[in-house]
Amino acid sequence: MLIKSPRGWELPERLATPESVYLNRRQLVKAIAAGPIAAAAVAAPFGPADAAEEVVEAANAQAEADPTLDLYPAPLNGAHADAGRVVTPEADNLTYNNFYEFGSHKQIWRRAGDLPRRPWAVAFDGLVEEEKTVDIDTLIRAMDLEERVYRHRCVEAWSMVVPWTGFPLKDLVAFARPLGSARYVVMQTFDDVDWAPGLGQFWYPWPYTEGVTVEEAGNDLAFVVTGAYGKPMANQFGAPLRLHLPWKYGFKSVKSIVRVSLAEERPTTFWEELVPSEYGFWANVNPDVPHPRWSQAEERVLGTQDRIATQIYNGYGEQVAALYAGMEDESLFM
Ligand code: MTE
């Protein structure tokens, strides 16, 4: 096993993001708008070429049918243009997903193909000036989309680098028009068993629920995702709207959001309710705080053979550590 021990973000040169790979993906999207594309062009790093082609073709078909396709590729945010590592090949990402509504294994992409992306509405309720339900296309078009390349670290000790498209979570909160008494932003996934068979597994506390404080939601890194790899995102990534909080373990990044609630009380989140001894509310990445059943010191970089040292706050401490000043008594890292 190859163990790497980079200092901070001083990563081996060959791990630096090759701009050519990245730019090719952006150019690819323009090709999608123009018609069928050569999926194999992006699929090379993934297992058997035909399987890779199939999964990328499925993602491209979903993107082509998406009513917001014309918004892609969105302008790249220069402050988040380079995550310091190679972007995870799209086919690897498309075939290694956590989305328990479709099953408790990673190969859920075929099942997720049945997710009805439209019509889709998002409800805003709780401590808001006025409760409302908004059509997803109206919501997305009310936002300024941009692209950001983020590191994505799962609590299961694997990681990826993903070029997401979306908008800051603080813009979604502003759209909700919260009352001054709101302290938490709570987000939920759809809960219709006709859409996803896993929802019939009664022992899970559906719907998948996550939340952050209003202060965390206001941090510039907190991102609401609508697209990935330069096009509307594939179903298995949590279409048509998901969260990504790059300094937290991936389970905080709730997928396929249908409800945004502003609340005074801290919510009990999905994994916290299921296994409170293993998963908490804060879930900030920290290599020094092991999961009760495994170490968090290192991570397996998907799409490569590498294992690298995990960074506190997934390397985003400069931007987020201040959020947790004076909270030493809280379980910030589980
Ligand atoms: N959201 C919902 N609704 N259902 C899930 O099972 N899994 C979480 C998170 N969001 C999950 C979810 C976990 S554990 C992780 S690591 C990330 O989604 C995985 O995102 P990815 O499949 O895009 O890598």
pLDDT mean over 83-91: 97
The first and second tokens of residue 154, run together, are: 């799962």
pLDDT at 151: 98
Spatial distance between the Cα atoms of 294 and 289, rounded to a whole number of angstroms: 10
Q: Which residues pair with 262 in a beta bridge?
A: 126, 185
Mean pLDDT for 83-111 is 96
Q: Is residue 285 part of a domain?
A: yes
Give the model confidence (pLDDT) of 180-222 as tens digits: 999 999 999 999 999 999 999 999 999 999 999 999 999 999 9
Residue carrying structure tokens 């009760």: 292
Rounded to the nearest whole angstrom, what is the distance from the C-alpha of residue 243 to the centroid of ligand 1? 10
Q: Ligand 1 pocket: which of 93, 99, 192, 233 to mutate (most atoms <8 Å of CB)?
A: 99
The reported pLDDT for the residue numbered 50 is 73
Alpha helices for 12-155 (secondary structure H): 19-34, 40-43, 49-64, 90-94, 109-112, 136-141
In a domain, 264, yes or no: yes
Structure tokens at 12: 């081996």
In a domain, 266, yes or no: yes
Atom of ligand 1 nearest to the CA of 96: 22
CATH number at residue 274: 3.90.420.10
d(CA 59, CA 324): 38
| Nearest atom, ligand 1, residue 99 CA | 6
Structural domain of 40: 13-322
**265 C-alpha vs ligand 1 centroid, how far in Å?**
24
Say how many Å lie between the CA of residue 98 and the centre of ligand 1. 4
Look at residue 11 and tell me whether its pLDDT is greater than 80: no
286 CA from centroid of ligand 1 (Å)? 19
- Ligand 1 centroid–CA 4 distance in Å is 26
Mutate which of 90, 92, 98, 300 to test ligand 1's pocket (most atoms within 8 Å of Cβ)?
98
Domain membership of residue 294 (yes or no) is yes
**pLDDT digit string (tens) for 245-257?**
999 999 999 999 9
Please write the tens of the pLDDT for every residue from 24-72.
444 434 433 333 222 223 333 445 677 889 999 999 999 999 999 999 9
Tokens 């010191």 sit on residue: 297
pLDDT bin (cut points 50, 70, 90) of residue 16 is very low
Q: Supply the residue whose CA is at minimum distance from atom 12 of ligand 1.
A: 254
Q: What is the mean pLDDT of the chain?
A: 88
161-166 mean pLDDT: 98
Q: Considering only CA atoms, which residue is closest to atom 13 of ligand 1?
A: 251
| Integer Cα distance of 57 and 231 in angstroms | 13
Query: Domains in the chain: how many in total?
Result: 1
- Nearest protein CA to atom 9 of ligand 1, as residue: 251
Rounded average pLDDT over 316-322: 98
Task: Establish if 328 belongs to a structural domain.
Answer: no
Helices and strands, number each (H, E), in the chain: 10, 12
Q: How much distance in Å is there from the Cα of 129 to the middle of ligand 1?
A: 30
Output the six-digit token pair for 82: 């380079």
pLDDT digits (tens, 9 = 90+) for 125-144: 999 999 999 999 999 999 99
d(CA 285, CA 164): 20
In a domain, 7, yes or no: no
Average pLDDT over residues 147-158: 98
Q: Which residues line ligand 1 (CB under 6 A)?
A: 97-101, 154, 189, 208, 237, 250-251, 253-256
Residue 193 covered by a domain: yes
Mean pLDDT for 4-32 is 35
Structure tokens at 199: 């929802």
Residue 273 lies in a domain: yes
Of 29-33, 87-91, 273-277, the least confident: 29-33
Q: Which residue has the higher pLDDT, 310 or 46?
A: 310
Distance 239 CA to ligand 1 centre (A): 12
Please say if the pLDDT value at position 1 is more than 60. Answer: no
